[in-house]
Amino acid sequence: MAFFKRVKQPLIPKIKLSGVSKSFGSKNVLSGVDLEIFPGESVVIIGGSGTGKSVTLKCILGLLTPDAGRVEIDGVDLAAASTVQAETLRAQIGMLFQSGALFDSLNVWENVAFSLLQNQKMSRRQAREIALQKLAQVGLSAEAAEVYPADLSGGMKKRVGLARAIATNPNVIFFDEPTTGLDPIMSDVINDLIVSTVKTLGATALTITHDMSSARKIADRIAMLYQGKIIWTGTVKELDKTDNPYVRQFVAGSAEGPIQMDLKA
Amino acid sequence: MRFQFINMMGRVLLHFFQATGALGIFGAKTLYHCFVPPFYGKAFLRQLIEIGFYSLPVVALTTLFAGMVIALQTYTGFAQISAEGAVSLVVLIAVTRELAPVMAGLMVAGRIGAAMAAELGTMRVTEQIDALVTLSTNPFKYLIAPRVLAGVLMMPVLVFIGDILGVCGGYLIGVYKLEFNATTYLMNTWEYLKPMDIVSGLTKAAVFGFIITLMGCYNGFYSKGGAQGVGRATTNAVVSASILILIFNYILTELFFNV
Ligand SMILES: Nc1ncnc2c1ncn2[C@@H]1O[C@H](COP(=O)(O)OP(=O)(O)OP(=O)(O)O)[C@@H](O)[C@H]1O
Ligand SMILES: [Mg+2]
């Protein structure tokens, strides 16, 4: 073995999508998505409503199986991995669902501490402590911790979902519209939280958002999804200088341009 | 015309096989996860209480009245051939072999099967099941195995209690309405009591418990399409469980008593 000197390896992407396609019945949602996300990087996906951003995340997580193409996490194809391997991969992933997806049979802190209680077999006391700390980070008090999800406002649900996603200090985090439904100040608190989470944990983050100010703040790189493909990627600086008409229209938020909303009944 | 008919029949058959296959795989997966750790004790305990304890009143009432009505009808029938003495025996056999398991099965299918389908269905459409997976918890282990295990264990307990209450119902009618001698009635019941009657009833109960929870979980787990889909899942769970209970009741009776 000594004959082989270790050559400096090229950086392996943490997450790699190649040619991922997904249709529902006759409806083609993704048609060949290619995307690489490197360790410690924060990537934001932007794109119109209904273009398949959430579907992309679910394909990466293995909640949906792509019709074609590969999804690799740490170089491992999740679809081909054994159950045990898939579970260990997933254990290092945190996910905030667009709808929150809180367990309504458990109260707020039990939701946040779910993984700590069920998988890490932590004592309830210790788990509650961590949950309260994570809740505080998203601006929720200890009072809210005992409430059941059904009695929360939309924005509060989102923040609980966020606290649950980061509770285990995962090293890959997916955020599906973390600031939708929050007031501007809370949005900025959440942006800061995402940035600091990525920095302090050294985590890799993939965020979906429509909120351009949020995207500018948290993104190292931005990718735009349009008609089932990633049509543009670049840094925030490049975003302002690009002459890609689709991106420019999206960023400007203008109804005039190449992207036509299908408004016919 | 004829081809259309064959075509349609083929499609129905294919659909049937596909559904049975999917259910079979679901059942096999469930069984596997019932016996392979990790186990979720608290979830299991909650289901034990939900299925066993809270179903008690419904099961008790239905079996009590079933025992009563059997005593009454047997008397009116058997008095014509002067065989009133058979009332206690008929009550005993009818209740332990058939009535208690089937009544309890149908009642629990309505209560528990529906509740499971609705709960899991709602969890499915609100992405809670997806969330479980991302929290590296296997939904089969956390949601389904505890329910099915609790159903298989608690149904025999419920039916055993139902057996006792059904026989009590027969006794009440026999002694207070038909004016049999209390001691003789009890002696008769005791004398005719055969372990096989009880055992067959309890075995049926365990099978019905499996059917009820499996249909509830299966329909809920794969429900889609929002509130309407959850409603459909709930109906399907109860209807399919009830039909299967009656079919398997017949099959098990054939197997046990081999008439
Ligand atoms: N389970 C499913 N079954 C059928 N169609 C689906 C399913 N999930 C998503 N779709 C369809 O896929 C398309 C993309 O959905 P997706 O949720 O990914 O949109 P999105 O980009 O996240 O939009 P938004 O910004 O509004 O959240 C939609 O047209 C949707 O109808
Ligand atoms: Mg979405």
Domain count, chain A: 1
List the single residue in B with minimal CA-CA distance to A60.
B134
Contact A94, A46 (CB under 8 A): no
- Residue B50: closest CA among B213, B230, B248: B213
What's the CATH number where A245 sits?
3.40.50.300
pLDDT tens column, B19-72: 899 999 999 999 999 998 888 999 999 999 999 999 999 999 999 999 999 999
* Separation in Å, CA of A95 to nearest CA in chain B: 7
* pLDDT of A7 over the 60 cut: no
One-letter amino acid identity for A198?
A: V
* pLDDT of A263 over the 80 cut: no
Please give all residues whose CB falls under 5 A of ion ligand 2, grouped by chain where several chains appear: A 54, 98
Q: How many CB atoms lie within 10 A of CB B27?
A: 16
- The stretch B125-144 carries a mean pLDDT of 93
* DSSP element (H, E) containing B159: helix B145-172
Cβ neighbours of residue A195 closer than 8 Å, sequence gap 6 or more? A42, A217, A218
One-letter amino acid identity for B86?
A: A
Q: List phi, psi (to 5°) of A10.
A: -65, 150
Ligand 1 pocket test: pick from A28, A30, A51, A59 the residue with the most ligand atoms within 8 Å of its Cβ.
Answer: A51
Indicate whether A141 belongs to any domain: no
* Separation in Å, CA of B130 to nearest CA in chain A: 7
Indicate whether A127 belongs to any domain: no
- pLDDT > 90: percent of chain A: 59
Indicate whether A116 belongs to any domain: no
Q: State the ipTM, two decimals.
A: 0.88
Q: List phi, psi (to 5°) of A28.
A: -85, 115
Q: List phi, psi (to 5°) of A38.
A: -95, 160
CA distance B183 to B194: 19
Indicate whether A87 belongs to any domain: yes
State which residues form the domain around A246: 15-92+170-252
Measured from the CA of A55, which atom of ligand 1 is nearest? Answer: 18
CA distance B94 to B89: 8
Indicate whether A206 belongs to any domain: yes
* Helices vs strands, H then E, count in chain A: 10, 10
**pLDDT tier at A255, thresholds 50, 70, 90:** confident
- The stretch A86-90 carries a mean pLDDT of 82
CA distance A126 to A65: 37
Indicate whether A75 belongs to any domain: yes
Contact B219, B186 (CB under 8 A): no
Indicate whether A136 belongs to any domain: no
Chain B residues whose CB is inside 8 A of the A87 CB are 136, 138
- The stretch A97-101 carries a mean pLDDT of 91
Indicate whether A153 belongs to any domain: no
pLDDT tens column, A74-83: 888 877 888 7
Cβ neighbours of residue B234 closer than 8 Å, sequence gap 6 or more? B114, B117, B118, B121, B219, B220
* pLDDT of A2 over the 50 cut: no
- The stretch A229-233 carries a mean pLDDT of 94
